[in-house]
Amino acid sequence: MGAQLVGVVVVSLVFRVSTQAGDLQRATILPAAIVGTLLGVVVVARMIRRSFSDRPWREALRAVGVTPAPRRELAASAALGAVLSVVYVLILTRIAPPDPERTWGPVVQAVSAGGPQQVLWVVLAVAIAPPVEEFVFRGVLFQGLANSWGRAKSAIIVTGIFALFHIPETGSYWPAILAITIMAVLVMVVRLRYGSLGPAVAMHMAYNAVLAISAFGS
């Protein structure tokens, strides 16, 4: 999480000092987020390797939930994620449409500019963020906390952290906060139920994929 934040925050601070900060920030925020995300998973993987230095790598990965999952579990989880995203896009945003003057986070602003930034966001949201974030949050962080505090308490903590981690982009727009929070709860539920990160990744990918489709269609 720290690696992701460093990439985004440093770029934002550096380019806000120039007269063309907005354009430069939008052009660099997504590449920085992608690099930060990939750097984060490398750092976490090295931490796992050190923690399980006396065990095979496969056993270390299995301990944090990197195990195969049946196709039906993957499909069911993906369907649930897609349905939740559709409810957000087609129902919640119509019940409470966002204010046109609302100030969104830097990633949303970059996506709104269209062009290459929108493509980079799709790559980040669908192909990179789901497996990395599930590995970090529902895998390493959850299992590490569960070893000390138990599964129930750790599940609540990780879910809360994950939801708060996305608040800078959504701001106070309650439909987005509600959808992200529900998604955070559901991915934790399938992680606990199936004992594998696969269904959680599938749900996360499907949720983001629907958002990506709606972004290109708007």
pLDDT at 115 exceeding the cut of 80: no
Q: Is 201 exposed, middle or buried (0-12, 13-18, 19+ CB in 10 A)?
A: buried
CB 214 within 8 A of CB 91: no
| Mean pLDDT score, 23-51 | 79
Could you read off the pLDDT of 118-169 as tens digits, one per residue?
888 899 999 999 999 999 999 999 998 999 999 999 999 999 999 988 887 8
Give ∠ CA 125-58-5 in degrees, rounded to 5.
35
Place of tokens 């966001």: 121
Question: What global pTM score does this model have?
Answer: 0.87
pLDDT score, position 4: 52
CB 206 within 8 A of CB 190: no
Q: Find how far residue 85's CA is from the centre of its chain.
A: 14
Please tell me what DSSP assigns to residue 136: I
Which residue, among 191, 217, 218, has the nearest Cα to 81 in the 3D structure? 191
CA dihedral 65, 156, 43, 190 (to 10 degrees): 30
Distance between CA atoms of 129 and 147, rounded to whole angstroms?
25
pLDDT score, position 9: 53
pLDDT score, position 3: 52
| Mean pLDDT score, 87-112 | 83
The structural domains of the chain, with segments of one domain joined by +, span 66-217
Distance between CA atoms of 170 and 165, rounded to whole angstroms?
10
Could you read off the pLDDT of 10-23 as tens digits, one per residue?
544 544 444 344 55
Q: Which amino acid is at 164?
A: L
* Average model confidence (pLDDT) across the chain: 85
Could you read off the pLDDT of 181-200 as tens digits, one per residue?
999 999 999 999 999 999 99
